[in-house]
Amino acid sequence: MGIYKSYKRKYQARKAAQKSLEKRRNVTRNNTIKEITSQLTTMDQNQLNNTLTSLLPKPSVTKEYRQRNKLITSIQELPDEEVPAANHLVATMRYPKGSDSGKLLSPYLQKKAYNYIANTLYKPQSSNESLKDAKSKLELENKKLHRQNNKLIGRTRSLGAQIGHLCNQKSHHISKIRSLVQKSSIMTEDAFKEKIKSLFMVNKRKYSSNTVWLATSIAQVGEISMRSTVECTKLIYEFLTEESPQNCLSTSTLHTWHKDVSQIYINNHISQIANAPVFGIMVDESTRGEIKNFVLCYQVWDEKEQMPIVTMSCLKDIPKCNSETVSNIVIQSIQEDGLDITKCILWVTDNTAYMSSDKNGAVSLFNKKTGTSTFRIGCGLHIIQIIFNHFEQEAFGKISTGFSRKLHPYNLLYLAWNLHDGYNSSDKDKPLNGFFARKMTF
């Protein structure tokens, strides 16, 4: 019994201590609540919101949560006048139909719309009507170029057929002449003369194509003049027929033939250049008194014959020999010949400043005006001549153009030979001919 009473007293003492502790805790909690309540009554709305945010449990911080808070903050910081625009933006930038109807547009589509607005907002001719007008103009220009291209193709085919016909006719005439030679034993002299006349004249007023070929070929031999070509053609006719021609060939007629044949030849080459992937040009100019002549030649590689083609296409009188004039004339000539200017990748020129300058040279201006990357190859002989002239002027001084009694070392190789004359393995102390060097004073 004594043990039981001892345990009972300990239990009752423990219970009493717990009740006393709970009572003290409740008093402390009530006092804390009263203190918090008194503090809350003195706070404004922002302080209450901050206090509530600190008391509420914080959600897990994710990427979407941060983006949402950033969006809310951006909207709250907007000025009052921009709030309707932001509301309209969120309401309208949504898919109009489809499976995503009503949802906001994707970031890709939003960026695409922004880029379109940024590229067209402050630029002229950005409206739908102006774009339609520009499209119509481009379509008309495209049709015009297509017609011109078809016309050039037809003309090229026609010229090719004419060239083939002339070649066949030439071969046929040569065969006829050979046949006449073989049958000369049974042909009378009058018949032979009539046959030769028929090769020169189709009728009394019209020359044959063989005569055109003969006269233009003679004009290309050496430096023969047009008048001499006419005389040579007459002599050949008189030699074969023993008669003077009734209708004398004139220089004006020969000029016309030469111009027509040259034009056919140039057009044939230009058609090949137009079909080539790239081409180059060779440009030069010269001054004859007050007249300044400009020459332009095309150069291209013939894939069929495996050889280069070079033909002169332009010979004009220009007012000035400067980079601006040369670049404009080249662009104009290429466009007039119907060639694609972007295929021009090479210029071959001399080494004058207005041709070779990297900033304001003719090639540099041509690239700026056409948007191409054409490069230039200078004439090697002209460059070497300029180098030697500058070197000799620096080494020996400028040579007098008039009469002078003063000896002048005009030849660089002659000078080098004399300076090194006598140099060998036994003369190492005097490797140069000092006597000659001292004698040559300027």
Residue ranges in the chain whose pLDDT is less than 50:
422-428, 430-434, 436-438, 440-442
281, 362: one domain: yes
Residue 75 falls within a domain, yes or no? no
pTM value surpassing 0.85: no
What mean pLDDT, rounded, does the chain reach? 77
Question: For the chain, how are helix, strand and coil distributed in percent, rounded to 5?
Answer: 60, 10, 30
Which pair of structure tokens corresponds to residue 303?
Answer: 């894939």
Give every strand in the sheet of 375-378, ordered side by side.
307-318, 291-302, 279-288, 344-349, 375-378
Residue 12 falls within a domain, yes or no? yes
Task: Tell the residue number behind the tokens 């005006």, with chain if given.
Answer: 369
368, 408: one domain: no
255, 290: one domain: no
Residue where a domain terminates, one of 231, 263, 295: 263
What does the pLDDT read at residue 433?
Answer: 47
Residue 290 falls within a domain, yes or no? yes
Residue 122 falls within a domain, yes or no? no
Residue 191 falls within a domain, yes or no? yes
- Interacting residues of 315 by C-beta distance below 8 A, sequence separation 6+: 293, 294, 295, 296
Strand 291-302 relative to strand 307-318: parallel, antiparallel, unpaired? antiparallel
What does the pLDDT read at residue 1?
Answer: 54
241, 324: one domain: no
Q: What is the Cα Rg of the chain in Å?
A: 49
What does the pLDDT read at residue 187?
Answer: 65
255, 332: one domain: no
Question: What's the CATH code of the domain at 352?
Answer: 3.30.420.40
Residue where a domain terminates, one of 346, 378, 410: 378
Range of the domain at 434: 396-439
313, 257: one domain: no
202, 179: one domain: yes
What does the pLDDT read at residue 236?
Answer: 78
What does the pLDDT read at residue 327?
Answer: 87
335, 424: one domain: no
Which pair of structure tokens corresponds to residue 171?
Answer: 């071969």
Q: What is the pLDDT of residues 397-414, one digit of tens each?
A: 666 655 556 555 555 555
Give buried/exposed letters for 295-319 (b at 16+ CB in 10 A, else e).
ebbbebeeeeeeeebebebbeeeee
Whole-Å CA distances, 86 to 78, 93, 100, 118: 9, 11, 21, 19
226, 283: one domain: no
User: What's the CA gap between 111 and 439, in Å, rounded?
Assistant: 83
What does the pLDDT read at residue 126?
Answer: 57
Nearest to 293 by CA among 315, 324, 326: 315
Residue 271 falls within a domain, yes or no? no
Residue where a domain terminates, one of 333, 348, 378: 378
What does the pLDDT read at residue 440?
Answer: 47
What does the pLDDT read at residue 442?
Answer: 40
User: What's the CA gap between 326 and 355, in Å, rounded?
Assistant: 9
345, 408: one domain: no
Residue by residue, DSSP assigns 161-174 as: HHHHHHHHHHHHHH
User: What's the CA gap between 376 and 5, in Å, rounded?
Assistant: 122
What does the pLDDT read at residue 396?
Answer: 65
Whole-Å CA distances, 235 to 206, 209, 251: 19, 18, 15
Residue 140 falls within a domain, yes or no? no
Residue 128 falls within a domain, yes or no? no
What does the pLDDT read at residue 437?
Answer: 47
Count of domains observed in the chain: 4
374, 400: one domain: no
409, 358: one domain: no
